[in-house]
Structure 1
């Protein structure tokens, strides 16, 4: 079995494990392969003794039986290297969102949850690619406050000290070429950070 197919089979197992029953069409879209490729892969998993259950009809699809769980054992060398770099180089955006410490804790837990062979690959990649990004010079705390408002669905007033404050219902934060912007759920307009000015987070939800 070639490495690409082995990686795809592992991805199928993880998808079924985490999402439950999925149709062949949904798997094909997720994996970016043909429908018939998914069917051949499901046959291969069944022949390997894995508890694949197939359901017919409109509500059909595939799922894992017997509460089967798999661990992330099948990372290829380049995938392990990529994961090691991701874990070692947290994006500065996490600090702006107030998530730097949770990100470090999550990375540590993820490393410890991996089987020994995968952890060894990660350790080797860390020795080969050494990353020490300095902390950001400054953090705009309005971004973290807006992130909390998005999570808690709180109404927000922008330019709150001006004569014409703008009330928004923040449903998402997005980051693009011009930096952070908040998406207002009422107008579906993205308002860039440069236009926020003073931010007032209301106790009222929307």
Structure 2
């Protein structure tokens, strides 16, 4: 851990120039005292770091201290930095590790690529925290120590005990064989088996985790994309409501954000779209369609049309009466 921190400290000074001990401590998520000890260790190891006193002082490296990785071209480096700006690392607790990795990538670039790649990466934003309607995207939080235990078990191939609260149930300890981790729309999931049966656990509902020494009972090779598709298909085939909907294309993304899944889409009359959408239940479908007002129409099932008509009639009646 300390070796990684020392490398990150050197890379920060390489890329940003002079930095105070307080600034370094914030970046590395350690105390100022730890930074000072690390600076002393680097100096003892021959790294040319020096201190400048005064109001605008700090620590810096002598010019010319660098390494290069000539195998990365401009577009390859840009792809790495752009992918690193996504939000998956927040779901899986890898934010600090990603920041450290990105510093290493930038520092390893040839000088001719470094400035242009940095500028290009600033002009590409992946999954910001809010959309155009100022709706904040909420990333589900998982305690850091819990996420670390889960991640280690998944990557190390060991069994795992999790304290998990299923919907409408009290939390219980479960022993599972972890297969992999998946993130969808800032929600993280643990794919596993329990007593040989497939299980999918939402990470935000795991309050504690403990890695076990025995190896997980799982295949050595795994196709997470295929497994996820199969589990999604099983999930959608049980206790859900399938609907046929006409929607204004300008409201399509809103519908996608509330539906469990949208399986098909084709053009409809008046420039609208016809969608086959799945919802958790009839009440969920009614709520989702009501949010879209006259920009959507439920074509089926009939109970959904009836529920929306009755709600609209009740609203019209309420506001159709003159106020006393």
TM interval, shorter chain, is 0.3 to 0.5
The structure with the greater share of residues assigned to strand is 2
Of structures 1 and 2, the one scoring higher in RCO (CA 8 A, sep 6+) is 1
TM-score (norm 2): 0.32
TM-score (norm 1): 0.47
